[in-house]
Amino acid sequence: MGRHRSLWIALVALLLSGWARPLQAQARSPIEGPVGQVRTDPNPAPVEQSDATPTVAGDFLPIRDQAGILTVDVPAGWVDVSESEWMVAGQPVGIRLTASPNQRDFAANWGVPGVAINFSASLPATLSPEALLDTFDYARTCEDAGRDQLPAGERTVLYQIWQNCAANKSAALVLVLSPAQTRDYYAVIEVYMASPADVAGLGRILTSLQVNRAGADPAAQPVAGDTQAAPTVIPVIVAAATPAPVAAPVVQGTVLVDRLNVRSGPAVDQARLGLVTRGALLTVIGQTGNCAWLQVKTPDGITGWVSGDSRYFALNAPCSSVAPAP
Q: Report the chain's mean pLDDT, rounded to a whole number.
A: 75
DSSP tag of 299: T
Among candidate residues 110, 115, 132, the one with its CA nearest the CA of residue 33: 132
- What would the pLDDT profile of 244-283 be if each residue is shown by its tens digit? 344 456 789 999 999 999 999 999 999 999 999 999 999 9
Could you tell me the pLDDT band of residue 56, with boundaries at 50, 70 and 90? very low
Among candidate residues 291, 162, 199, 325, the one with its CA nearest the CA of residue 316: 291
The pTM of the full predicted model, rounded to 2 decimals, is 0.56
- Name the residue ranges covered by the structural domains of the chain: 2-235, 251-321
CATH architecture of residue range(s) 251-321: Roll (2.30)
**pLDDT for res 326:** 79
**pLDDT for res 12:** 52
**pLDDT for res 256:** 94
pLDDT higher than 50, residue 6? no
Q: Show Cβ contacts of residue 107 under 8 Å, excluding neighbours closer than 6 positions.
A: 39, 40, 41, 44
Classified by CATH at the fold level, domain 2-235 comes out as Protein Transport Mog1p; Chain A (3.40.1000)
Same fold, 2-235 and 251-321: no
Question: For residues 161 and 172, is the Cβ–Cβ distance under 8 A?
Answer: yes
CA distances (Å), origin 275, targets 77, 152, 254: 39, 50, 13
